[in-house]
Structure 1
Amino acid sequence: MLRSTLLAATALAGGIALAPQASRAQQTIDSLGLTVTTTPAITSDYMFRGLSQTRNRPAAQLTLDVEHESGVYVGAFLSNVAFAGTNARQEVDLMAGYRFAIGDLKLDLGATYYAYPGYSAPRGGFELAFYEFALRASYEIAPMKFVGTAAYSPQFTGESGAAYYLEGGFDLTLDYGFTVSPRVGYQWVERNIVPAAGSRDGFFGAQDYGYFSLSVSREIVGGIIGTVAGIYNTLSTERGGVANDCFGGSKICDNRFTLTLSRPF
């Protein structure tokens, strides 16, 4: 299977994760105890965990979050994608979980199913869809909010076996409405590269890697949030004087800057 095809399912539910919510717009349905947040967005490059999901191209996205007053929630995320050597053109993520607090510590225990409607695995290829469990935490000491994520998938994208992901960082609120958000993460995958001859196991297509991002966001006008982010990942560097083979040389691992506009409702 082409290495470049195996990146697809690294997309995050809520693909504007690099853009912290400078303001949170919500709609409430009091009779049902529900809070509904809808966030359309456009971005210059759909990035997740330091890797491009659209091969350096723009994306239009929509995130829906419906939370009950008990803390139980469901949601969905939609985006266009582009993966060399595949017919995957859209992503639909389905989410469910439970949000609660222990004192000032806020926790989110949830699961996400990453689906690619219309995708069909090529001959000798593997499925891109997978599901993942995650624990997210946040703790605020104004003007700073610390955040962290730990995620596990029993069968990662490309049928590449168990995968683990850790991420940490903080959001710092500054004067004039700016928010600065550094993030650092690391992705482990059980089967990274092509297995031994004769094996029918799937594989991810690249080595385990880390990434770092730094974003600055601010409400521009009418609730529209603008976010500029710089992203670096270890797959974009050279090791031992030899350039990394990033998913077949598709350049989805290049370091870059991105611009995202979003509007929560």
Structure 2
Amino acid sequence: MRAAHPHLFFGLALLSQASHAVPLTEDMNLQVKLSALSEYRSRGISQTLGDPAAQLEIILIHNNGLYAGVWTSNVDFGSAVDAQGQQQRLDTRQELDYYAGYYWQISDAISLDMGYMKYSYPKNSEFNMSEAYAIFGAYGAQLGVNYSSDVENYFGKHQDTLYTYLGYKTLLPAEVGLDMRYGRNDMKDPAFFAGDGNTRDGYREWQVRLSREFVGLTWELSYIDTDLSQSECALWYGYTDSCSATVVVGVSKAF
């Protein structure tokens, strides 16, 4: 049901160069980031049913490239049908992610970021999952791969999932940042059912984000969409508009 929910750290490979990190020791730095968004979307899918989200991230960064962090956000998955066929409100209101990895700056323009991430949802542990990831960056472009073997399918059994994406990051005039991403989320078993009876085991999503620093804050505007139809979205996620095109406004502050 929630196979596409995990948080995507687009730009995670730049953490070791974070200008806002606070030095703890000669080799260790700490970064804290607070964010407020008009909606929390992950891989194109709404995690808050269109409502706003408040998010917190804390990262420890070692000068040798090792890092570890925790990230959290409010979520709202609405309701689900129980074993008796009754609609039941899902209890979880929080996503809590733990991750650790290694960032390798191969040259000024080329980098490799590899790590492991664990996603947990208090009160709805059936959504918990883990993922290994790798991000190769070169001259502003990014190729990312995320693999999981413990996402639940319709029958409550674990299945393999593979998320791959291409991204590009650059700086426009007036110090406006531009991030673009095109990704595909694939599952081992058929997961998306259309109104005509056709099924498929994956979908595509894309995002274009503009950002700019102003009065000590980072402001961003994103356009997000998927190729899932309303019927596919409703049968897998429970709501017709959770996968539709949207504009998300956000503001963040790093310490």
Q: TM-score per shorter chain, which class?
A: 0.7 to 0.9
Correspondence for 1:260? 250
Correspondence for 2:75? 81
Note closer, same or farther for the CA distance 1:146–1:194 as it changes in structure 2 (3 Å cut): closer
Greater share of residues in strand: 2
Is 1:212–2:211 an aligned residue pair? no
Correspondence for 2:86? none
Aligned match for 1:166, one of 164, 167, 173: 164
Query: Mind listing any 5+ residue stretches in structure 1 that lack a counterpart?
Result: 1-5, 121-126, 196-204, 238-242
- Cα contact 2:99–2:118 (8 A) shared by 1: yes
The secondary structure found in structure 2 opposite 1:172 is strand
Offset of residue 71 of structure 1: 1.2
Per-residue CA deviation, residues 28-58 of structure 1 (Å, 9 max, x unaligned), is 1234x11211110000000111111101000
Note closer, same or farther for the CA distance 1:249–1:138 as it changes in structure 2 (3 Å cut): same
* TM-score, structure 2 as length reference: 0.82
Offset of residue 68 of structure 1: 1.1
Q: Distance in 1 between matches of 2:95 and 2:200?
A: 21
Correspondence for 2:122? 117
Correspondence for 1:244? 232
- Cα contact 1:42–1:60 (8 A) shared by 2: yes
Q: Distance in 2 between matches of 1:13 and 1:231?
A: 13
Offset of residue 220 of structure 1: 1.7
Note closer, same or farther for the CA distance 1:46–1:212 as it changes in structure 2 (3 Å cut): same
The aligned amino acid for 1:189 is: M
- Cα contact 2:192–2:232 (8 A) shared by 1: no
Is 1:128–2:135 an aligned residue pair? no
Correspondence for 1:94? 98
Note closer, same or farther for the CA distance 1:128–1:164 as it changes in structure 2 (3 Å cut): same
The secondary structure found in structure 2 opposite 1:244 is helix
- Cα contact 1:206–1:245 (8 A) shared by 2: no
4+ long deviations beyond 4 Å: 157-160
Per-residue CA deviation, residues 106-130 of structure 1 (Å, 9 max, x unaligned), is 111100000011225xxxxxx1100
Correspondence for 2:6? 11
Q: Distance in 2 between matches of 1:236 and 1:213?
A: 17
Q: Distance in 2 between matches of 1:109 and 1:134?
A: 6
Which is worse superposed, 243-252 or 82-91? 243-252
- Cα contact 1:236–1:255 (8 A) shared by 2: no
Query: Mind listing any 5+ residue stretches in structure 2 that lack a counterpart?
Result: 80-89, 194-198
Correspondence for 2:196? none
- Cα contact 2:233–2:242 (8 A) shared by 1: no
The aligned amino acid for 1:171 is: K
Note closer, same or farther for the CA distance 1:194–1:244 as it changes in structure 2 (3 Å cut): closer
Correspondence for 2:189? 191
Identity over aligned pairs, percent: 26
* TM-score, structure 1 as length reference: 0.79
Note closer, same or farther for the CA distance 1:160–1:55 as it changes in structure 2 (3 Å cut): farther
Aligned match for 1:230, one of 219, 223, 227: 223
Aligned match for 1:152, one of 143, 147, 155: 147
Correspondence for 2:137? 138
The secondary structure found in structure 1 opposite 2:54 is strand
Note closer, same or farther for the CA distance 1:29–1:249 as it changes in structure 2 (3 Å cut): closer
The aligned amino acid for 1:89 is: R
The aligned amino acid for 2:253 is: R
Per-residue CA deviation, residues 135-161 of structure 1 (Å, 9 max, x unaligned), is 012223xxxx11221110011255440
Correspondence for 2:47? 53
What's the RMSD between the two structures over aligned residues?
2.6
